[in-house]
Amino acid sequence: MRPSPIEAARGRHSLDDVARRAGINLYRTSGSVMVRCPLPSHGHFDRSPSLRLYLDDGMWHCFGCGETGDVVEWVCQSEGVGWNQAIRILDSGRALTCAWATSESPPLRRDLSSGRWTPTTSMRPVETPGQSDYPDLSRTTVTRVFDCLATAWAYYSHGPLHERGAAYLERRGIDVAVLEAHIGRDEVGHTPASSRGLVTAMRVKGFADDELVDAGLAHRGGDGRVTDFYRQRVLVPIRDQESRVCGLVGRNVGAERWPKYKNPPRTHTYDKSINLYRPLPAPTAGRWGQVVVVEGTLDAMAIAVAAIRCGRATQFCPVTQSGRELSAKQLEQAVSLNRGPLVLAFDGDAAGRESARRHAMAAVRLGHAVSVTTLPGDHDPASWLAERGSNGLSAWAVAGAPERGHPLPRPVPAGTYPATRLAALETVPSSALLVTTDRPAL
């Protein structure tokens, strides 16, 4: 069963991309942010941010308009069209209407020193002052972006910065040295203390500021000052099919007010709706191979380390989008990695359970078997494995798989559910239980 046209459009177009097409420059690509509402139903102009974007879920809600929706509804509201035309507009790639940017009253900008909102002559919508310059896909070549990323990763993952990142992971129970020895390259880095540490180092290497911005490594403020895009974060590289670094994911180790993960902005080499973090190759264990979809980058790394330790690196293949919402392309990627059941291992909160249900439905529509598992309590995969060691991998192993490497406790299947019952699927509150779906008749 194919997804509906609206579901397919949601998979093709991310909310952060749609916001930028309306001129709203986002300073992050995950979590939730407040922006000035561009929809004409608000009454405008929007003096202060009233539209909350739930970037991981692809949903938005305006506290001024009272409207809620997805990317299709956004275009319906902003352009005054039906859903069919909205999808055509989304696919066209053209700019979207921003109602307040064309109002008689000019946009306002908040002065950080005084806290006052003052008019500005610029009609370019800015979500957060000081973070107004984002990658220009027409300015820097793909080759140069890859060069920037490779040089930056060499800086972030060398010497003391690598040691700081590895030390943080060790405190989380993840011995990254195991993974790095297995794959033969550095897999963790760390930001420097200075807010311009990378920018300074890259200038010495001959990279221009525009190139750093276009590679998603720096941002230019309204005052022209260029600073590092990542601050106070442990860094993990996302690689393409040729093992080239195409973006970096940053895990927050600073102030709690910052989002847990910071993904790269959209560049020539990275698109949050396409790229996945995958620390291990596709499984070679045939139908017993386990592609495990998790929410966090460190969750995927923890599973990879545990699998290597117990000789099961060819069986387990963790992947993540660094969030809960996989696009249709990403789900197809995950399904294509192995013919065994796709394992969904999202967090056990309400949002995680709902995401697991929707992705399970989508995978079954692709004709693929699915397993959904939820860890007990407040555990995520990383904390679960830190507490139980490699034996914790049994939470995601398929019952009946032949023994490879060190034996694991056998998972007990909680039940088999045909596709017709997936809508009522409830995740199982135990690490040792799996809910499996039958492969539907095609």
Mean of per-residue pLDDT scores for the chain: 78
pLDDT at res. 246: 97
Amino acid found at 163: E
Measure the CA dihedral 333/15/251/341, to 10°.
Answer: -30
- Angle at which helix 159-171 crosses helix 176-183, to 10 degrees, equals 120
C-alpha distances in angstroms, 116 versus 64, 101, 120?
A: 21, 19, 12
Note the pLDDT tens digit of each residue in 310-364: 999 999 999 998 877 788 888 899 989 988 788 998 877 777 777 788 888 888 8
Note the pLDDT tens digit of each residue in 399-408: 544 444 444 4
Q: Which residues of 68-78 are buried (b: 16+ CB within 10 A; e: fewer)?
A: ebbbbbbbbbb
- Partner residues linked to 220 by β-bridges: 133, 226
Kindly report the CATH class assigned to 142-262. alpha beta
Note the pLDDT tens digit of each residue in 353-367: 777 888 888 888 888
pLDDT at res. 219: 85
**pLDDT value at 211 more than 90:** yes
- Give the mean model confidence (pLDDT) for residues 42-57: 71
Distance of CA 402 to the CA centre of its chain: 33
Query: pTM surpassing 0.75?
Result: no
| 311 contact partners, CB below 8 Å, separation of at least 6 | 404, 405, 406
C-alpha distances in angstroms, 300 versus 59, 103, 168, 208, 369?
A: 25, 47, 16, 34, 21
- Give the mean model confidence (pLDDT) for residues 200-227: 91
Strands (E), 27-104: 32-35, 51-54, 59-62, 68-69
Sequence-ordered alpha helix ranges (H) in 36-141: 71-79, 83-92
d(CA 41, CA 36): 13
- Partner residues linked to 68 by β-bridges: 61
Judge if the upstream peptide bond of residue 45 is cis by omega within 30 degrees of 0: yes
Find tokens 């439905």 and name the residue: 361
Note the pLDDT tens digit of each residue in 383-429: 999 988 888 888 887 654 444 444 444 443 333 333 333 333 333 33
Structural domain spans, the chain: 5-105, 142-262, 286-437
pLDDT at res. 103: 41
> 5-105: what fold?
DNA Primase; Chain A (3.90.580)
Instruction: Match domain 286-437 to its CATH number in 3.40.1360.10, 3.10.180.10, 3.90.230.10, 3.40.309.10.
Output: 3.40.1360.10
Please report which confidence band the pLDDT of residue 52 belongs to, taking 50, 70 and 90 as the band edges. Answer: confident
d(CA 240, CA 278): 10
The answer to whether residues 395 and 373 touch, using CB atoms and an 8 Å cutoff, is yes
- Give the mean model confidence (pLDDT) for residues 104-112: 40
Which among 75, 85, 96 has a CA at the least distance from the CA of 24? 96
Tokens of 410: 């056998």
The three state secondary structure string of 293-326 is EECCHHHHHHHHHHHHHCCCCCCEEEEECCCCCC
Worst-scoring range by mean pLDDT, 116-130, 134-148, 170-184, 349-363? 116-130
**pLDDT value at 267 more than 70:** yes
Phi, psi of 310 (to 5 degrees): -105, 20
Sign of CA dihedral 16, 17, 19, 20: positive
- Partner residues linked to 292 by β-bridges: 318, 343
Please report which confidence band the pLDDT of residue 297 belongs to, taking 50, 70 and 90 as the band edges. Answer: very high
Distance of CA 255 to the CA centre of its chain: 20
Sign of CA dihedral 135, 137, 140, 142: positive
